[in-house]
Structure 1
Amino acid sequence: MNAPEPSAPGVRPEQEALFSTTAEHYARFRPGLPGPAVQLLAGTLAGRRAPVLLDLGTGTGQVPQALLAAVPRLAHVEAVDVNRAMLVQSRSVLGPLLGGRTLRLVHGSAHSYTAASGTDSVAPDLVTCCRSFHWMDRPAVLAMADRVAAPDATVAIMGDGSLWTHRAGWTRQLRELIQRHLGTARRAGPADAYTAPVRSYEEDLAASPWSDVAEHRCPVPRTWTPQGVVGYLRTTSFANAGLFPDSRHHDVFERDALTLLTALAEEDGPLVEQAEFRVLLARRPGGAR
């Protein structure tokens, strides 16, 4: 297992800063992959003797963490992220799970990924991107995957939205509180507003070599505690500590959020999120199933 490699071309300072204050909170507060989604991913590797995973935008390694447990024969993981702190956290999570398997951590943008030089690299059988594809140069990422992946590989694009986008009475009030503190536009880092993708992921895939697409939807009901929501907000691009002028302002926001969420839970019952985890499994037309 390696330390993160030197930065690949294409990592901008604002990308590194976007989640600079969040890595330590991810493993504790971010929901992992639901079981049905893990089984879908594991199924793409059925019959392969020593499969290889390439996880793009790996964060703290939730996808490799799930698949190392679900696919004992998984031989090697390539984990890519633009944030060094995330990769350090990923190493601490994944290291104890490896056994005799290998892990390479790559600090760089997803579309700039290249296999290790000077070694006998193995083409990935599964390329995954969980809750991060919207941050990427999507056409360039899919073109890169076509260059590096095995002939019968699968690309999996997946995610489940966020508490910002979820439609419920309590999430609406939470979103309004965030806007009172940080402005009406959804934030995406200290200096930027979030811009939604112009076209759908299905359109991105249809215009790529990965145009054979199957969609899977997994209902995921979640019940949050007020403290859990506040911890989750520390991991987001729209309410993490780095967006506030200083720690005092962030502390005030967290107190206000905890007060609001506690009152809502007492008055209206549990804080329930009826999430839906969506998985797009894409292959090259004519590829083996």
Structure 2
Amino acid sequence: MTAFTGTSYYYRRFRPGIPAALAALLAQETSAGSPLRLLDVGTGPGLVARALAPYFDEVIAVDSDQAMCAEAEAALRPALSAGQRLHVQHTLAEDFMPPVGWQPHLVTCGRVFHWLDQPRLLNRLNEYIAPDGVLAVFSDRSLWTADSAWQQTTRTVAQHFLGEQQRAGDGVFDPPGQPDEEVLRASAFREVTTATIPVRREWRTEEVLGYLYSTSFAAPHLFGDRQEAFEATLTDALAPFMEGEFLVEDNAFTVLIARRPCVRGR
């Protein structure tokens, strides 16, 4: 079992994708190539790969959860243009080795870098990424870390049912010690630039519930026979924060773009 066991259905349908501005930024940072190749590690249901696929000729998406891979295949395959190539592979990001001669120009780690054996992944990427390849590590704030009043209320209700400590599936989430930027600067990809992409979202209550069920800390099976009570409690608690039909969220993606020294994009 992985920390995301049982979440793939909700992840594909209720997790926000990446904004168009972020996809355009990453495409712009990627050096030209023919064919242009994307590797999306920890792809989940393919949200990042789908946003970036129009910019690339070949896409490989990998994930350690078999159900996530099935969702990614279902989401990505129908969206391909003529001539585009896609491979979805069930494997650990740290174990992945591309086909012989296949070198990605962009490697993306969207909302996943903290789950990985970072030094091992970075060493492996250094073996096969294109000479001018770019690694992009990015994430937005989750409902566990966001700070608006309605998000704090959501977290409080979840903690009432699941406990104060952040869950990671059937275990406990243990965040890595070093900030992502420090980890990157200690690796072969130590030339790092940063960007921030703001986003504003509107949520219905049922979408907040779906989002929660897509997370490692509030997967449906963790509630057991209290899931219905949790849904009713959260719905009542969020009602005072509704702006019309919606709960409004201001968030932002923090983006780290990493290269090996003396290697520049276009």
**TM-score > 0.5, shorter chain as reference:** yes
1:274 correspondence with 2:250: yes
Q: Output one character per residue of 1:34-87: Cα deviation in whole Å (capped at 9) or x when no partner.
A: 121111111133532311111110001111101123x1xx22111110100000
Q: Which amino acid aligns with 1:274?
A: D
Partner residue of 1:166?
146
1:180 correspondence with 2:133: no
For 2:158 and 2:183, how far apart are their aligned partners in 1? 31
1:229 correspondence with 2:208: yes
For 1:143 and 1:46, how far apart are their aligned partners in 2? 21
Shift of 1:269: 8.8
1:66 correspondence with 2:51: yes
> In 1, are the aligned partners of 2:31 and 2:132 still within 8 Å (CA)?
no
For 2:175 and 2:121, how far apart are their aligned partners in 1? 17
In the alignment, which of 215, 221, 224 is matched to residue 194 of structure 2?
A: 215
1:38 correspondence with 2:23: yes
Shift of 1:103: 1.4
Alignment of 1:195-206 (within 5 A): 195-206=174-185
Q: Output one character per residue of 1:204-226: Cα deviation in whole Å (capped at 9) or x when no partner.
A: 00110000011000111222111
1:20 correspondence with 2:20: no
> In 1, are the aligned partners of 2:135 and 2:257 still within 8 Å (CA)?
yes
SS in 2 for 1:80: strand
For 1:80 and 1:171, how far apart are their aligned partners in 2? 31
Shift of 1:264: 3.0
SS in 2 for 1:112: coil
Partner residue of 2:233?
256
In the alignment, which of 243, 254, 262 is matched to residue 286 of structure 1?
A: 262
For 2:209 and 2:69, how far apart are their aligned partners in 1? 23
Moved more, 146-155 or 34-43: 34-43
Structure 1 residue ranges, 4+ long, deviating more than 4 angstroms after superposition: none
What is the number of residues matched between the two proteins?
A: 264
Identity %: 38
For 1:107 and 1:28, how far apart are their aligned partners in 2? 20
For 2:16 and 2:229, how far apart are their aligned partners in 1? 25
* Structure 2 unmatched runs, 5+: none
**Length-normalised TM-score, structure 2:** 0.94
**Length-normalised TM-score, structure 1:** 0.87
Shift of 1:254: 1.6
1:142 correspondence with 2:122: yes
Shift of 1:282: 0.5
> In 1, are the aligned partners of 2:133 and 2:259 still within 8 Å (CA)?
yes
For 1:213 and 1:62, how far apart are their aligned partners in 2? 24
Partner residue of 2:134?
154
Q: Output one character per residue of 1:144-179: Cα deviation in whole Å (capped at 9) or x when no partner.
A: 111110110000000102011001111111111111
> In 2, are the aligned partners of 1:166 and 1:273 still within 8 Å (CA)?
no
Alignment of 1:91-106 (within 5 A): 91-98=73-80, 99-106=82-89
SS in 1 for 2:250: strand
For 1:143 and 1:135, how far apart are their aligned partners in 2? 16
Partner residue of 1:3?
none
* Structure 1 unmatched runs, 5+: 1-12
For 1:80 and 1:250, how far apart are their aligned partners in 2? 31
> In 2, are the aligned partners of 1:45 and 1:51 still within 8 Å (CA)?
no
After superposition, the Cα gap between the structure-2 partners of 1:59 and 1:269, relative to the gap in structure 1 and judged at 3 Å, is closer
